[in-house]
């Protein structure tokens, strides 16, 4: 039986969940895995708030030294979040010869490569299953489980808040603001929701997974990011009539030696496995050269799933599996190629377009003319009945086109007299 | 860069797939993983059939000695199948100090514990990702990915042949025999299909996963096994009217210190994630105490997915991850408790029942009386219109009941005068 001495920094929601598992399930963990993680110190600036977990006396302190200065502690769990203090903490833990387990997606997405290298050269590990899709063991799946194949594409619903909002909008016809308020009331969205609804959280997770899936160094600033604030129910409805479901997708594709990384709302065909992922659930769909299409599905957030992911990583540390992984990571890291980031202007996909036009003859012809001049052809269109008193929506789905051409065509179209407001564009993935 | 010297025994469909990946993708594997597996010897009794892979001259032989006697070979891939020669081969490989990678589900389900112990005491590993659900990395997910939680339930669609047949029966209304013939014509079923359609293949996979999920020694003979030969389209249709989808499920549940292991056709509510798994696809749904419900989905068979799983395991051997896993496995193995196998008579679930009765007054009352006397209550029933000329089906869905009570009730019911043939029973999982 291996005892693993754990120091925990950050005693918030997830931290309390980790403490609870370590205190309550130690026997079960030891019996199932052969590793008994023992909580030796907990550090947080706030030592008074009741977290619902009864820590043994003397375990909680606001002095970092109780963790970093305790030579017996073998692994530090970093749950403070943010990219400044958390980074210093992780570096200090490595300097003290301690392994690290973290759930910090922003830090890993933006500074991961540097941290992995520092850990590798110290013969230590950084484990981060909890940073992506909480309860789904997706980090180790992408890192280890597809070694025998080449991953060519990856699409994920990796933000439960956005998926809850889009599901509500689709199933109840509510607008974004109302669905967001509902999510906040249910505790599925923060009071300040921008990290989620503007796509940054999804982009962080995408960058972490793409590094593993494509074995390329990822420049986080090259990820194209759009959120869901501008989505209107009418587009979800038109899409539905055409057989599509709208999701906020984190997309990674290997294309001609480049990596195409983007987060944006996208229509999926109704029968795509990701289309059935509702509410706060997450899922990551993976296409492998030899394995074909697979999908990993489950709860992406929440105290208990995320805490379980942290503990799963602790077991890896205790077994020595984390060290093996870190060695492999570090060995590759030095020779890792930069991902040639494919610009969004160069992607090729299908498009859903909604034009707001004056209801008069010749408008559709002018629009299709502008599309045609830019080499874009129409696959299908919906043009509602005549309605002389107001502007009408015209919806078009195109065949595959290059985004650069689409941008040029829409510039032309949006300057037409009969086009009354900016055309709405939603990309389609199939 | 680690070169890993590989010997392959069994040059059939999967073997040829493995050889192809090792020969064609070596550079890519090395670049992505840091391990370059090199095929040093291939052994098969049949050295003349063209497998569609051009092996370098001298690599293929019908002498096992070319693999076992080659001291440079570090890992043996066993793809001969069966439980006799394959077992001897694996033991001989371990005796020669070689790691083992295998896709042999029957062997592991029936003799796995003994083999794992032998490997462990020799400081060697047996890896078997390819034994369950080919392209889905489910073995390592269940073994490593849920360490931080306790898995309480597991349900899998783990046989693509059966799922294809049931999907055809549901969507086209065909009978079993016709759907089987179609599957055979498509190459989705063997000429001798009993291993698949009678449930044994699913039971093998269940035993392998249950060993990992519940950390208990599994007695394979305790797995309750039913296949799909007796399924009639009419039951799929009645179930559908009541909101259910029929699947062949491999079920493992931890109940009161026992493990309930069974393979049988079962109805799932239409919105269960497994209900959407169509055709030859596989999926494993897992309920963890802390993680909630997750699902792993993908292609369960086929040359390329299965071969990729073998190569994924080879990378683990090359990285040293397989050795770490085997050490952990062996350390636990000695103190592993036997799974107290819950008898099928003791399970509690909901039931779908179809009675064939003479259409006369009082029959439903006699049936519900017999159910009631055994403590079983009816949740819903379908009784078609009066039809005096022939027997009619009466369908009942029960509330939760114990199988022992159900068996007693059906004995009573099937001996009633008005009941014309054996009552059909299908368990319902929710």
DSSP β-ladder status, A401-402 and A392-398: unpaired
Please, what is the angle between helix B303-319 and helix B26-33, to 10°?
50
Q: Do A290 and B304 touch (CB under 8 A)?
A: yes
Per-residue pLDDT tens over the stretch A208-264: 999 999 999 999 999 999 999 999 999 999 999 999 999 999 999 999 889 999 999
Q: Tell me which chain B residues have a C-beta less than 8 angstroms from the C-beta of A313.
A: 148
Segment 253-292 of chain B within 8 Å of chain A by CB: 273, 276, 288, 290-292
Q: Which of A313, A333, A353 is the last residue of a domain?
A: A333
Q: Name residues whose C-beta falls within 8 Å of residue B309's C-beta, 6 or more positions apart in sequence.
A: A148, A291, B103, B129, B130, B134, B135, B137
**Helical pair A160-172 and A233-241, crossing angle rounded to 10 deg:** 70
Which residues of chain A lie closer than 8 angstroms to B135, CB-CB? 288, 290-292, 294
* Residue for token pair 């199933």: A171
Question: Does residue A310 belong to any structural domain of this protein?
Answer: yes
If asked whether residues A253 and A288 sit together in one domain, one would say yes
Q: Residues A16, A86: one domain?
A: yes
In this prediction, residues A274-282 reach a mean pLDDT of: 96
CATH code, domain with A120: 3.40.50.720
pLDDT band for A388, please (50, 70, 90 cuts).
low
Query: Do B212 and B186 belong to one domain?
Result: yes
Residue A40 lies in a domain: yes
Q: Residue A312: its pLDDT value, please?
A: 98
- Do B150 and B288 lie in a common domain? yes
Residue B120 lies inside a defined structural domain of this protein: yes
In A171-273, which ranges are E strands?
224-225, 244-255, 258-269
In terms of Cα–Cα distance, which of B102, B110, B41, B6 is closest to B309?
A: B102
Q: Where are the alpha helices (DSSP H) in B354-396?
A: 363-373
- Kindly provide the b/e burial profile for residues A126-149, where b requires at least 16 CB atoms within 10 angstroms of the residue's own CB: bbbbbbbbbbbbbbbbbbbbbbbb
Task: Give the residues of chain B that fall short of pLDDT 70.
Answer: 386-389
Assign A360 a pLDDT band (cuts: 50, 70, 90).
confident
Q: Is the pLDDT of residue A386 over 80?
A: no
pLDDT of res. B388: 65
Q: How many angstroms separate the CA atoms of B99 and B309, rounded?
A: 16
Query: Does the pTM of the predicted model rise above 0.90?
Result: yes
Give the separation between CA B63 and CA B67, rounded to whole angstroms: 8
What residues in B contact A273, CB-CB < 8 Å?
276, 297
Residue B29 CA: distances (Å) to CA of A322, B76, B103, B315: 21, 19, 20, 9
CATH number (domain holding residue B149): 3.30.360.10
Dist CA A101 CA A308 (whole Å): 12
Q: Please tell me the distance in Å from A286's CA to the nearest CA on chain B.
A: 9
Task: Please check whether residue A154 touches B, CB under 8 A.
Answer: no
CATH number at residue B398: 3.30.70.260
For residue B362, give its domain range: 347-428
Rg (CA), chain B: 24
8 Å CB contact between B274 and B268? yes
**CB nearest A328 (choices: B141, B307, B319):** B319
> Domain check: are A208 and A190 in the same one?
yes
Instruction: Tell me how far apart the terminal alpha carbons of chain B are, to the nearest angstrom.
Output: 49
**Residues A20 and A129 placed together within one structural domain of the fold:** yes
Give the pLDDT score at B218: 92
- Beta strands at A378-382 and A392-398: parallel, antiparallel or unpaired: antiparallel
Q: Indicate if A160 and A279 belong to the same structural domain.
A: yes
Task: Identify any residues that bridge with B304 across adjacent strands, giving them in sequence order.
Answer: none
The verdict on A155 and A272 lying in the same domain is: yes
Nearest-CA distance A364 → chain B (Å): 39
pLDDT tens, position by position, B299-358: 988 999 999 999 999 999 999 999 999 988 888 877 778 878 899 999 999 999 999 998
Query: In this complex, do B149 and A293 lie within 8 Å of one another by their Cβ atoms?
Result: no
A142 domain-assigned: no
% chain A with pLDDT above 90: 89
Contact B290 A308 (CB under 8 A): yes
For residue A47, count other CB atoms closer than 10 A to its CB.
Answer: 13
Question: What confidence score (pLDDT) does residue A389 get?
Answer: 65
Strand partners, A338: A217
Residues in A touching B311 (Cβ below 8 Å): 147-149
Give whole-number Cα distances, B112 to A370, B289, B417, in Å: 66, 27, 50
Å from B402 to nearest chain A CA? 29
Give the residue ranges of DSSP H helices in B186-230: 194-197, 200-214
- The pLDDT, as a whole number, for residue A364 is 87
User: How many interface pairs between A and B have CB atoms less than 8 angstroms apart?
Assistant: 201
DSSP, collapsed to helix, strand or coil, labels residue A292 as strand
| Contact check, Cβ <8 Å, B308/A315 | no
Tokens 């199948």: give the residue.
B81
Looking at the structure, tell me whether residues B318 and B372 fall in a common domain: no
Query: Measured between CB atoms, does B146 come within 8 Å of chain A?
Result: yes
Residue B342 in domain:
no
A60 with A46: CB under 8 angstroms? no
- Count the domains in chain A: 3
Residues B247 and B373 in one domain: no
Rounded CA separation A371/B8 (Å): 56
Determine, yes or no, domain membership for B72. Answer: yes
**Which residue, among A235, A211, A190, A224, has the nearest Cα to A353 in the 3D structure?**
A235
DSSP-derived letter for residue B344 is: G
Select the residue of A294, A327, A331 nearest B298 (Cβ to Cβ). A294
Residue A49, domain member (yes or no): yes
Q: Are residues B152 and B291 in the same domain?
A: yes
Between CA A59 and CA A126 the distance in angstroms is 24
Note whether A40 and A70 are within 8 A (CB).
Answer: yes
Q: What is the pLDDT of residues A118-160, one digit of tens each?
A: 998 899 999 999 999 999 999 999 999 999 999 999 999 999 9
- Encoded tokens for A410: 């829409």
Could you tell me if residue B128 is inside a domain?
yes
Name the A residues in 47-106 with CB < 8 Å from any B CB: none
Active site residues of B: 205
pLDDT for residue A266: 98
| Nearest-CA distance A32 → chain B (Å) | 6
Mean pLDDT of chain A: 95
Q: Does B316 touch chain A (CB under 8 A)?
A: yes
Q: Which of A5, A133, A154, A176 is nearest to A76 (CA)?
A: A5
Please tell me whether residues B113 and B170 are part of one structural domain.
no
Coil, helix or strand at residue B43 = strand
C-alpha radius of gyration, chain A, whole number:
24
Q: A35: nearest CA in chain B? A: B328
């Amino acid at each position: 039986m291996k005892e693993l001495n754990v120091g925990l920094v950050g005693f918030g929601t997830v931290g309390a969940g980790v403490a609870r598992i370590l205190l309550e399930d130690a026997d079960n963990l030891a019996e199932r895995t052969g590793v008994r993680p023992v909580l030796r110190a907990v550090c947080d600036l706030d030592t008074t708030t009741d977290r619902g977990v009864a820590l043994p006396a003397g375990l909680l302190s606001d002095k970092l030294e109780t963790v970093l200065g305790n030579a017996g502690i073998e692994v530090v769990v970093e749950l403070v979040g943010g990219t400044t203090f958390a980074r210093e903490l992780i570096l200090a833990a490595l300097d003290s010869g301690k392994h690290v387990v973290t759930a910090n997606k922003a830090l890993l997405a933006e500074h991961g490569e540097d941290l992995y290298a520092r850990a590798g050269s110290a013969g230590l590990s950084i484990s981060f299953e909890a940073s992506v899709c909480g309860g789904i063991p997706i980090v180790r799946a992408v890192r280890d489980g597809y070694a025998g194949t080449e991953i060519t594409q990856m699409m994920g619903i990796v933000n439960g808040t956005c998926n809850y909002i889009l599901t509500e909008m689709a199933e109840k016809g509510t607008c974004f603001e109302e669905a967001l308020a509902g999510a906040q009331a249910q505790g599925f969205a923060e009071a300040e929701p921008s990290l989620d609804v503007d796509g940054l959280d999804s982009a962080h997770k995408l960058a972490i997974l793409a590094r593993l899936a494509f074995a390329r160094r990822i420049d986080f600033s090259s990820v194209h990011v759009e959120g869901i604030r501008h989505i209107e129910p009418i587009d979800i409805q038109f899409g539905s009539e055409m057989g599509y479901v709208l999701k906020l997708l984190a997309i990674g594709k290997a294309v001609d030696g480049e990596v195409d990384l983007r987060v944006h709302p996208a229509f999926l065909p109704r029968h795509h496995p990701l289309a059935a992922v509702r509410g706060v659930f997450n899922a990551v769909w993976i296409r492998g050269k030899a394995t074909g299409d697979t999908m990993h599905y489950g709860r992406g957030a929440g105290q208990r799933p995320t805490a379980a992911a942290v503990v799963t990583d602790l077991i890896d540390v205790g077994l020595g599996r984390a060290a093996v992984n870190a060695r492999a990571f570090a060995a590759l890291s030095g020779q890792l190629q930069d991902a040639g980031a494919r610009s969004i202007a160069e992607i090729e996909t299908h498009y859903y377009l909604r034009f707001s036009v004056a209801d008069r003859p010749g408008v559709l012809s002018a629009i299709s003319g502008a599309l045609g001049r830019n080499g874009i052809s129409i696959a299908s269109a919906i043009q509602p009945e005549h309605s002389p008193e107001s502007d009408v929506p015209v919806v078009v789905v195109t065949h595959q086109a290059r985004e650069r051409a689409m941008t040029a065509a829409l510039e032309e179209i949006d300057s037409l007299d009969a086009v009354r407001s900016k055309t709405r564009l939603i990309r389609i993935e199939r």
